[in-house]
């Protein structure tokens, strides 16, 4: 899975839950299936079993886009859940949906909860934080690119399978050696814009877009045509 996921509180729901004396039901809509769906179910069951004030009811609402659209439609019908999982592509939509969602820092403050934003990984937290430093949603599940290596292929080409591949420069050198050894396709990649532009730009502290990567305004322009990104995409062309 490639996406960073955040949890959003529907406006005006969690604050009221704090004052309830009887068990309060909290609707939680998510997009996970398979093993991730099982883990979410375990988290919900563990929370529900640990106390008697609240009952979280988790519902799978389809894939990432379908879950986001279900949340939007539910809000328009006045039937929104208390908590909605939204993938990172929907971040701008949620940031602009004033009145539809309550920023997580406001939810925590209203509940009197101890909420230390500094405990979250900076690169993840930053994606869901406003320009003034307040977290708008709660990072819940974040992915990172992983390089899978065919060690047998490296050995057959006379390359140490434990060779350092921590930089794209070192990867490029190994790809050249593999091609020289007769390997037709030494590298495949998926999610090119996410891995080779968005992640690459973040790692090198290079803007992906103007307006603080879109967080400081809607009149944003893509800015990934800079020297670093162009050099990397050019190198990929040479590797092909």
> For the chain, what is the total number of helices (H) and then of strands (E)?
12, 6
- pLDDT tier at 2 (50, 70, 90 boundaries)? very low
Out of 16-25, 61-70, 167-176, pick the least confident: 16-25
DSSP string, 99-133: TTEE-HHHHHHHHT----GGGS-HHHHGGGB-TTS
Tell me what pLDDT residue 129 has.
Answer: 85
Domain 5-141: which topology? D-Maltodextrin-Binding Protein; domain 2 (3.40.190)
Residues 140-162 have a mean pLDDT of 93
pLDDT at 6: 56
Confidence check: pLDDT of 217 > 90 = no
Ordered alpha helix ranges (H), 116-205: 122-125, 151-156, 168-180, 192, 200-203
Rounded to an integer, what distance in angstroms lies between the CA atom of residue 144 and that of residue 148?
13
Residue recorded with tokens 């803007």: 207
Would the pLDDT of 172 be above 80?
Answer: yes
Q: Are 110 and 15 in contact (CB under 8 A)?
A: yes
Residues carrying CATH 3.40.190.10, the chain: 5-141, 151-239
**Beta strands per DSSP E along the chain:** 5-10, 24-30, 54-60, 83-87, 101-102, 138-141
Choose the CATH number for 151-239 among 3.40.50.620, 3.40.50.2300, 2.40.160.40, 3.40.190.10. 3.40.190.10
* Average confidence (pLDDT) over 159-185: 95
Q: Looking at residue 121, what is its pLDDT?
A: 86
Using a cut of 0.85, tell me whether the model's pTM lies above it: no
Q: Does residue 1 have a pLDDT over 50?
A: no
161, 155 Cβ separation under 8 angstroms: yes
pLDDT for residue 21: 60
């Amino acid at each position: 899975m490639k996406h960073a996921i955040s949890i959003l509180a529907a406006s005006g729901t969690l604050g009221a839950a704090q004052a309830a004396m009887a068990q309060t039901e909290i609707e939680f809509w998510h997009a996970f299936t398979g093993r991730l769906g099982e883990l979410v179910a375990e988290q919900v069951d563990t929370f529900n079993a640990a106390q008697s004030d609240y009952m979280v009811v988790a519902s799978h609402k389809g894939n990432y886009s379908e879950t986001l659209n279900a949340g939007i439609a539910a809000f328009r019908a006045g039937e929104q859940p208390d908590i909605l999982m939204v993938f990172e592509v929907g971040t701008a939509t949620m940031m602009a949906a004033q009145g539809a969602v309550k920023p997580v820092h406001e939810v925590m403050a209203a509940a009197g909860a101890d909420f230390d934003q500094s405990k979250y990984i900076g690169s993840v937290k930053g994606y869901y934080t406003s320009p003034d430093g307040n977290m708008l949603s709660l990072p819940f599940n974040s992915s990172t690119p992983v390089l899978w290596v065919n060690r047998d292929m490296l050995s057959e080409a006379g390359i140490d399978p434990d060779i350092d591949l921590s930089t794209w420069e070192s990867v490029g050198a190994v790809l050249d050696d593999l091609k020289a050894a007769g390997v037709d396709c030494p590298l495949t990649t998926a999610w090119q814009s996410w891995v080779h532009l968005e992640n690459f730009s973040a790692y090198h502290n290079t803007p992906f877009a103007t307006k603080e990567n879109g967080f400081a305004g809607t009149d944003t322009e893509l800015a990934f045509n800079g020297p670093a990104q162009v050099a990397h995409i050019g190198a990929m062309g040479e590797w092909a």
